Amino acid sequence: MVLAKLIDYYDFIIDSDENLNRRIFDSNVRDYLGLNPVNADIMKSLADSDNPEFWWFNNGITIIGTQAHIVGNAISIENAQIVNGLQTSESIFNHFSDVGQKDDKRSVLIKIIITNDLNVRNAIIYATNNQTNVNGRPRKGERPCFLLYPNGGDCEISDCPGRRFPASDRKPLPSAAPV
């Protein structure tokens, strides 16, 4: 478990063009639900930088990966997939994209689980997304592109030929402080 500065997490989830890197959410079984009441509350919490720590009011993010390396205050996660916290992640992305307030010192709680056991990975994906039913929208897990399978050190999404997550796609999460 780590606490990461919101801006550092934002940097982790964007691509080089500062768009949300949706590839790291492929194992998350939900789609973004838009500005529903829960997401509106998340955005309201993010908008008020005078609020106490963001992570006090948010369940955080769950990331699974195949390997992690800690150097100083940074952690690099290989084959990172955000399997829970898409609503929070989208809200953080929207907040920093719209507001651009880069000096926010608040943090988000991140649970990082490292395993190469596919059954464990799939059980984590199921367990972290089984608490609340999403009415009116299928969970992404009910469609193809759900389970991860290793393929020579890379990860390949089942039933999605050509979609791969090479080890070279590693992106460090800077300024992570162990909890």
pTM: 0.74
Contact indicator for 130, 137 with CB cutoff of 8 Å: no
Q: Is 102 exposed, middle or buried, given 0-12, 13-18 or 19+ CB atoms closer than 10 A? A: exposed
Selected residue with higher pLDDT from 133 and 137: 133
- State what percent of residues in the chain have pLDDT above 90: 51
For residue range 10-29, list pLDDT tens digits in order: 999 999 999 999 999 988 88
145 versus 24: the higher-pLDDT residue is 24
For residue range 44-64, what is the model confidence (pLDDT) as tens digits?
999 988 888 999 989 999 999
